Structures are given as structure tokens and as C-alpha cells.
Amino acid sequence: MDEINFAVLGTGGIGRRALDYSTQKDHLTPVAACDRHGVAVDHDGLDVDELLAATEGNIANDGGTQTVKQSGSMKGVAASAQADPTETPIDDIIDVSDAIDAVLIALPNLEHDFVPNVGERFAEAGYEGVLVDVLKRSRVIDILDAREETYEDSGITFVCGAGATPGFLTGAAALAAQSFVEIEEVEIWWGVGLKSGYEDNRGTVREDIAHLDGYDIETARNLTDEEIEEIVEEHDGRIEFNDMEHADDVLLERAGICDAEDVTVGGILDVRSDEKPTTTTVSVTGRTFDGERGTNTFQLDDVTSMEANVNGPALGYMKAGVRRNRAGEYGVFGPADLMPGF
């Protein structure tokens, strides 16, 4: 496969690890990265070690909505010797996007149309490449779908919901479904242990809290750091989620695998231990062509981290997106669309 130059929008918990991960994956060269206040571009390839060292602790202290934690003499990415401070980080990357094959969007998703709007800005600038996001909410996929023509016209291949769940586990469900001619239900149950805690995974934890009873994306966006720490404290560091609005449902439906209402997603987040509080499992129950009813189950090893399970698939789906893009296939693709058809 040809070489891929890619950019990362957002260098928080996910974005930094995506850069790190990419150094151990073939054919990927990170050439640009930004956070809210800084941008680094080097078309020969960023020095990832330097960027990661400079941005250590570079996590927005409000989930990325306003600020970036101070790091070194400058803020965030701007602390890197390869970077410049900027008021317009995303536009700065759009300006050089002619030379970028793919863009991983690792931005917070505390406004539903934020990621679709970022995609639209790339399209308006005439970008012809791959956009990959790791967003979680079902309704954002609908917004992307509604704008599919814009991406198609530009020559963009938009791979959406390509993290762990949705993403890795959606793909696993699509694969597990292949034994069946009719799917009864898909159950996704995840376990994530994040000893690095809220401090190091702000966007992720804040957005997960929006799924708890009594919260939504609006209220979660407005919580202070202290309030989030209190919620974590109230749950003794282990928060259980049920019936989450995770896009695995619409992504499986749009790939023709099952109805969205037959998909349930829940899980347990432990922000005080690296050990997973429960084993991540995807169970697909269906009827085979020869009349049996069965359940295919896919399990992740308890030792593989959330970071490995988000960033490995995100970069893998990015590669799959680039193959499509180079074959002239544009529009919106979910993880299940990149698996065997149903």
C-alpha cells in the first residue's frame, strides 16, 4: 500500500496516543497536528517524540471546549519546537490539506454538529482526502449522512464512528453477524480502566457522563472540573452506563445488518484502575440459513487498553478509507461498511 500522510486534529488523550501509535504502524506519516491553541506542520514528518514530550499534560481542562492546560512556556501543541501558536488551528491545517491524505478528528464532541461542521469546512476548501472521526453519538451520524453529498462532491471519504465503540466493536458485530441471515439482537458491553483518570482523558470522561441519568451533552459541557471529580467520587470511581446512545446502532442499521433498536450498548468505566472492570464483549444473536438460533461472541482481552482499542482501529479504518478514496469512492462510510457485506 502507498504511503499515507496524515494530520491529527486535537492532541488530547486520544490524539496524542494516535500519534504515538502511528510510529509503530506501517506506511503512516503524521505531518500535522493541532490543538485549540497551536499547530505543527512538517511535510517530511513530525518528530512525534518531541511533540509528545512537549505536550505532556496537554489536556484541555474543560474537555477541550475553551482552554488547554499550560505546558512549558507556551500552551499545548504550541509548546513544541515544531509548532506555532495560532487562533485558527483547524483552518491552518485546512490551508495545507492539499498535501494531506487523511485527517484523524480527535476533537471533543460536546456539540453534535461540531465534527460535521469541521468536515464541511474541509469540503468547502476543496479537500480531496479522508476524514476519520471517533465520535460516539448516534445522532451525529445522521447529521453526517444528511451532508453526504457535500463530501461526495468534494471527493472526501468520511469514515465515521471509527474508534472502539462505535468502531472496532461495530466492525466486530458486522463480522459476527455473517453466520446469520437474520439478526435478533446485538449486545455491546464494554469495560474501560483508566488509571490515568479524568485528568488525562477529559473529553472521553465528560462525554460519557452525558450518558448518565439526569445529564445530557449540554449539562455535561457546563460541568466544572470539580463537579466532574465529584461525580466520579460519588460512584467510587466506577461508573456504570446502560442503554447508551452509541452510534453502533445506526452504523449497523445503515450497513443493513439489523435495526438500530435491536442494538444495546452499555459498559463500566473505572477511572481509578488500569484493570478493566468488566470484559468487553460483543454478542450477536441471530438465525442461520439452516434454521439454528445462535449467538456469536467476540471478546477483547482484559489487558488491551482503551487507547490501544481506539487508536489501532481508528488508524486501521483510516487506511481502509484511503484505499476507498484512492479508488474514487467518496461519501460517508461507517465501520460496518468496511467489513464483509450483509
Ligand X SMILES: NC(=O)c1ccc[n+]([C@@H]2O[C@H](COP(=O)([O-])OP(=O)(O)OC[C@H]3O[C@@H](n4cnc5c(N)ncnc54)[C@H](O)[C@@H]3O)[C@@H](O)[C@H]2O)c1
What residues are paired with 295 via a beta bridge?
285
- 11 a known binding residue? yes
- How far, in Å, CA of 289 to CA of 255, rounded? 19
Q: What share of the chain is helix, strand, coil (3-state, %, to 5)?
A: 40, 25, 40
- 288 a known binding residue? no
**Among this protein's residues, is 136 annotated catalytic?**
yes
Rounded to the nearest whole angstrom, what is the least distance from the CB of residue 222 to ligand X in the complex? 15
Rounded to the nearest whole angstrom, what is the least distance from the CB of residue 34 to ligand X in the complex? 5
Rounded to the nearest whole angstrom, what is the least distance from the CB of residue 182 to ligand X in the complex? 28
Environment class of residue 328 by beta-carbon count within 10 Å: exposed (0-12), middle (13-18) or buried (19+)? exposed
Please identify, using beta-carbon distances, which residue of 160 and 176 lies nearer to ligand X. 160
- 14 a known binding residue? yes
**Among this protein's residues, is 69 annotated catalytic?**
no
Interacting residues with ligand X between 235 and 294 (CB under 6 A): none
- 59 a known binding residue? no
- 204 a known binding residue? yes
- How far, in Å, CA of 39 to CA of 24, rounded? 23
Buried b (16+ CB within 10 A) or exposed e, 144-174: bbebeebbbebebbbbbbbbbbbbbbbbbbb
Distances (CA, A) of 311 to 16, 243, 301, 316: 10, 24, 16, 8
Asked if the bond preceding 166 is cis, omega within 30° of 0, the reply is yes
- How far, in Å, CA of 249 to CA of 329, rounded? 24
Check residue 134 for interaction with ligand X (CB under 6 A).
yes
Determine the 3-state secondary structure of 244 from DSSP. Answer: coil
- 286 a known binding residue? no
From residue 5 to residue 34, what is the string marking binding to ligand X with x (rule CB under 6 A)? Answer: -----xxxxxx------------------x
List 69, 211, 246, 276, catalytic entry: 211
Determine the 3-state secondary structure of 132 from DSSP. Answer: strand
Q: Which of 116, 119, 203, 335 contacts ligand X by CB under 6 A?
A: 203
Q: Which of 28, 36, 228, 251 contacts ligand X by CB under 6 A?
A: 36
Rounded to the nearest whole angstrom, what is the least distance from the CB of residue 3 to ligand X in the complex? 26
From residue 155 to residue 194, what is the string marking binding to ligand X with x (rule CB under 6 A)? Answer: --------xxxxx---------------------------
Check residue 312 for interaction with ligand X (CB under 6 A).
no
Please identify, using beta-carbon distances, which residue of 8 and 28 lies nearer to ligand X. 8
Altogether, the residues listed in the chain come to a count of 342
Please identify, using beta-carbon distances, which residue of 153 and 275 lies nearer to ligand X. 275
Residue where the block lists cell 460535521: 116
Radius of gyration of the chain (CA): 19
Q: Which of 80, 109, 150, 157 contacts ligand X by CB under 6 A?
A: 109
Check residue 223 for interaction with ligand X (CB under 6 A).
no
Among 239, 249, 167, 187, residue whose Cα is nearest residue 210: 239
- 45 a known binding residue? no
Residue where the block lists cell 496537554: 58
Please identify, using beta-carbon distances, which residue of 30 and 167 lies nearer to ligand X. 167
Kindly give the pairing relationship between strand 281-287 and strand 293-299.
antiparallel
Please identify, using beta-carbon distances, which residue of 203 and 237 lies nearer to ligand X. 203
Please identify, using beta-carbon distances, which residue of 13 and 30 lies nearer to ligand X. 13
**Among this protein's residues, is 195 annotated catalytic?**
no
Q: Which residues bind ligand X (CB under 6 A)?
A: 10-15, 34-36, 59-60, 63-64, 68, 76, 89-90, 106-109, 134-136, 163-167, 201-204, 207, 310
Active site residues: 136, 207, 211
Residue ranges of the binding site: 10-14, 203-204
